Amino acid sequence: MIERVQFFDDIVLSWMGKFHTPRRNRIMSFFSKIGEKGIVWFAMCIPLLIYAPWRFFGANIIVGLAIAHLAGEIIIKHIVGRVRPCHKLEDDQLVVKRPKYYSFPSGHTTSSFSVFAVTLFRCWPLAIPVFFVAAMIAFSRIYLRVHYLTDVLVGMLLGFVCGGMSVLIFNTMILY
């Protein structure tokens, strides 16, 4: 089963390289860069944390990001230890610098979809632009060939679950 998944991931990886153009490379590099360390999401939280009526929402996002980081980056990546697809490529095939750490799941995607989940449950009109940015960050990781499709799909699911857990935690705090 794992061999079939890897075979499919390799096909997607190979196929993705055929769509590279200098303009797309710049766009995808931009989305990947804003997803690093959750930069775009922490930047989004600054006004939320400053404005008192939205502080709860901003804190909920931060907790979701923390849960996502703990689950994806600290626990799962080190248990699975999947090598990144970019390590199978020659240097001239790369658009971005090779990341140092493991591939599974995508941390950029996990954090992005944790924010999407919190936004969907707390402030659904904002969920549409958040989803767009999260989806572009996720796609950029496949496009740039630093993650396999399954890394990103699991990152989406894990992020949504972590964001949902954060909402449940905050809902529980309201009741007490």
Domains assigned to the chain: 25-175 (1.10.606.20)
In the predicted structure, residue 106 carries a pLDDT above the cut 70 = yes
Q: Tell me the per-residue pLDDT of 30-77, one tens digit each, with 9 for 90 and over.
A: 999 999 888 999 999 999 999 989 899 999 999 999 999 999 999 999
pLDDT, position 121: 95
- Pick the more confident residue, 106 or 81: 106
- Residues 6 or more apart in contact with residue 19 via CB below 8 angstroms: 143
pLDDT category of residue 2 using cuts at 50, 70 and 90: confident
In the predicted structure, residue 91 carries a pLDDT above the cut 60 = no
pLDDT, position 3: 83
pLDDT, position 82: 85
Percent of the chain with pLDDT over 70: 93
Q: What's the rounded mean pLDDT across residues 136-154? A: 93
Tokens of 110: 């996990």
Q: What's the rounded mean pLDDT across residues 145-152? A: 92
Most confident of 72-81, 94-103, 132-141: 132-141
pLDDT category of residue 17 using cuts at 50, 70 and 90: confident
Kindly tell me the sign of the dihedral angle through the C-alpha atoms of 37, 121, 72, 148: negative
pLDDT, position 43: 93
pLDDT category of residue 92 using cuts at 50, 70 and 90: low
